Amino acid sequence: MSERFDLIVLGAGSGGLSAAQHAARLGARVALFDPDALGGTCVNRGCVPKKAMWYAAQIADMHRLGAEIGFESVPMRLDWARFRRLRDQYIAGIRQRYAMRLDMAGIRVVPESARVLANDTVVSASGWQASAPHIVVATGARPRRLEIPGFELGMLSDDIFELEAAPQHLAVVGGGYVAVEFACVMHALGCKVDLLVRDRLLAGFDHEVAEDLAAKMQERGIRLVRNVQVRAARGKPGSITLEAGEDAVYGLYDAVLWAVGRVPNSTGFGLQELGVICNQDGHVCVDAFQNTHVSGIYAVGDVTDRKALTPVAVAAGRALSDRLIGGHADAKFDDSVIPSVVFSEPPMGAVGLTEQEARARYGDAISVHRGRYTPLLMMVAGRTEQNVVKLVCVGEDARVVGIHVLGAGSDELLQGFAVALQKGLYWRDLKAAIAIHPTAAEELLLLH
């Protein structure tokens, strides 16, 4: 016998929580399965602890700048254990609030993994069965492991949050979001960092702006090594070398972070047996409405091939519940404009098309407007470091199709511009707007 619900959700991360809570708000009886901590990757092993570390890194950097503009200070050392305790307390609080809200919403939380038996039935690890007309798969992704000797000597992004102290010399392998963010954060917190990149750094971003970020990271002291295919790690924990190519050896490192992408959690719990189709990377294939190939089974978040970002998972979960429970037959979320920020040092943000994408799509009809400026505080400190703003426009009337920003403040300033771009923004609108002075954001209004 199985207990009946209106909606069953596998995974209590960003996407699963969003689908479950919205469905409950709309009156559905919901069962939510997850063997791990509420909040999934973002809260426990992703955005939240990472952002806390990024703030610590910002403070360390500001402290160095403070000394340059006249603050009398002694070198400031982070009490890593205290910081970690405060960060983890904050995260425990988020989990507690989630538990309370789920309870108040009447959602049945089952702290076990689930296996899908049929398109309306799941069973928990301990054998409890639940059924519903709709099953939402929101099982996320995990860090990719490489089949190379000595891989186990290094850490994955999940492990970096468990560090008891900053390593002295860290190698980061990879060139995506996770690699760049941790290379910058750990460097600002006092580690010597080598970043070993196989392909292009931040390949999905505007090439010119990503190269500017690469230059800034190197100016700050991160050693960036390109075209490296690591084929083995040797040594023992705390004393590791990396072998690459024919005969190159890098190290000695006391820690290595593998940041070589993520793998969707789509196998081992019954999906393939029912006919759910995945692409060659293992992502569950869904249409614009999050339908899989099997009726009654849907997928949202990192387990699909949509952009692996928390707000995307949240928007997909909410739209799906609007459709399945709220009765809005055509509810889907608009993924045409997705802003994102790399929490590097300095941060880099983008919304819309890169110059390369716009050129491929619109050819010579595009125009590019870029500006470089030294922020006021840097000028006062006598630094020459420049921030970058870049607009990619299309057509005679210069409709803005891409905005790219690099420099302090980029993380916060982009959101409003992203809304404007989504609604339809022209370069003339920016030129006609009254700036807020002196800010980093005004630089986007002052481009010639």
Ligand X SMILES: Cc1cc2nc3c(=O)[nH]c(=O)nc-3n(C[C@H](O)[C@H](O)[C@H](O)COP(=O)(O)OP(=O)(O)OC[C@H]3O[C@@H](n4cnc5c(N)ncnc54)[C@H](O)[C@@H]3O)c2cc1C
Ligand Y SMILES: NC(=O)c1ccc[n+]([C@@H]2O[C@H](COP(=O)([O-])OP(=O)(O)OC[C@H]3O[C@@H](n4cnc5c(N)ncnc54)[C@H](O)[C@@H]3O)[C@@H](O)[C@H]2O)c1
The site for ligand Y (CB under 6 A) is made up of 146, 173-179, 181, 198-199, 259-262, 307-309, 340-343
Give the list of residues 6+ apart from residue 256 with CB closer than 8 angstroms, or none.
153, 154, 155, 170, 171, 172, 173, 233, 240, 242
Identify which of residues 39 and 443 has a Cβ nearer to ligand X in the complex: 39
Q: Minimum distance between the CB of residue 89 and ligand X, rounded to whole angstroms? A: 20
146 binds, among ligand Y, ligand X, none (CB under 5 to 8 A by kind): ligand Y
- Residues in the site for ligand X, rule: CB under 6 A? 10-16, 33-36, 40-42, 46-47, 50, 113-114, 138-141, 157, 178, 265, 269, 301-303, 308-311, 313
Give the CA distances from residue 198 to residues 12, 69, 172, 174, 227, in Å, rounded to whole numbers and listed in that order.
33, 39, 11, 7, 5
Identify which of residues 132 and 138 has a Cβ nearer to ligand X in the complex: 138
Active-site residue among 169, 187, 283, 437? 437
Cα of 112 vs its chain's centroid, Å: 26
Map tokens 């340059």 to a residue: 68
Identify which of residues 171 and 315 has a Cβ nearer to ligand X in the complex: 315
408 binds, among ligand X, ligand Y, none (CB under 5 to 8 A by kind): none
Identify which of residues 33 and 417 has a Cβ nearer to ligand X in the complex: 33
| Cα 101 from Cα 91, distance rounded (Å) | 15
Give bridge partners of residue 108 from the DSSP assignment.
Answer: 31
Half-sphere exposure of 171 (CA within 13 A, CB side): 28
199 binds, among ligand Y, ligand X, none (CB under 5 to 8 A by kind): ligand Y
Residue type, 293: H
Q: Minimum distance between the CB of residue 51 and ligand X, rounded to whole angstroms? A: 6
Q: Minimum distance between the CB of residue 74 and ligand Y, rounded to whole angstroms? A: 33
Please say whether the beta carbons of 297 and 116 come within 8 A: yes
| Cα 31 from Cα 33, distance rounded (Å) | 7
Q: Minimum distance between the CB of residue 445 and ligand X, rounded to whole angstroms? A: 27
Pair of tokens at residue 245? 């190519």
| Cα 417 from Cα 424, distance rounded (Å) | 10
198 binds, among ligand X, ligand Y, none (CB under 5 to 8 A by kind): ligand Y
36 binds, among ligand X, ligand Y, none (CB under 5 to 8 A by kind): ligand X
Give the CA distances from residue 2 to residues 124, 129, 130, 181, 274, in Å, rounded to whole numbers and listed in that order.
11, 5, 5, 45, 19
Identify which of residues 114 and 418 has a Cβ nearer to ligand Y in the complex: 418
Q: Minimum distance between the CB of residue 356 and ligand Y, rounded to whole angstroms? A: 16
Map tokens 């339809």 to a residue: 424
Torsion of CA 143, 148, 153, 154, to 10 degrees: -40
Identify which of residues 321 and 393 has a Cβ nearer to ligand X in the complex: 321
- What SS3 class is residue 248? strand
- What SS3 class is residue 381? helix
User: Which residue has its beta carbon closest to ligand Y?
Assistant: 176
- What sign for the dihedral angle of Cα 204, 207, 210, 215? positive
Torsion of CA 196, 201, 204, 209, to 10 degrees: 160
Give the list of residues 6+ apart from residue 212 with CB closer than 8 angstroms, or none.
388, 406
313 binds, among ligand Y, ligand X, none (CB under 5 to 8 A by kind): ligand X
Identify which of residues 23 and 393 has a Cβ nearer to ligand X in the complex: 23
34: region left, alpha or beta (phi > 0 left; psi from -120 to 50 alpha):
beta
Phi, psi of 230 (to 5 degrees): -70, 130
133 binds, among ligand Y, ligand X, none (CB under 5 to 8 A by kind): none
Q: Minimum distance between the CB of residue 183 and ligand Y, rounded to whole angstroms? A: 11
Would residue 283 show up in a list of annotated catalytic residues for this protein? no
Pair of tokens at residue 112? 């076990």
Question: Do the strands 348-352 and 366-373 form a parallel or antiparallel pair, or are they unpaired?
Answer: unpaired
40 binds, among ligand Y, ligand X, none (CB under 5 to 8 A by kind): ligand X
Length of the chain in terms of residues written: 448
Please say whether the beta carbons of 34 and 265 come within 8 A: no
Q: Minimum distance between the CB of residue 318 and ligand Y, rounded to whole angstroms? A: 19
Q: Minimum distance between the CB of residue 139 and ligand Y, rounded to whole angstroms? A: 15
Identify which of residues 228 and 394 has a Cβ nearer to ligand Y in the complex: 228
- Catalytic positions, written as ranges: 437
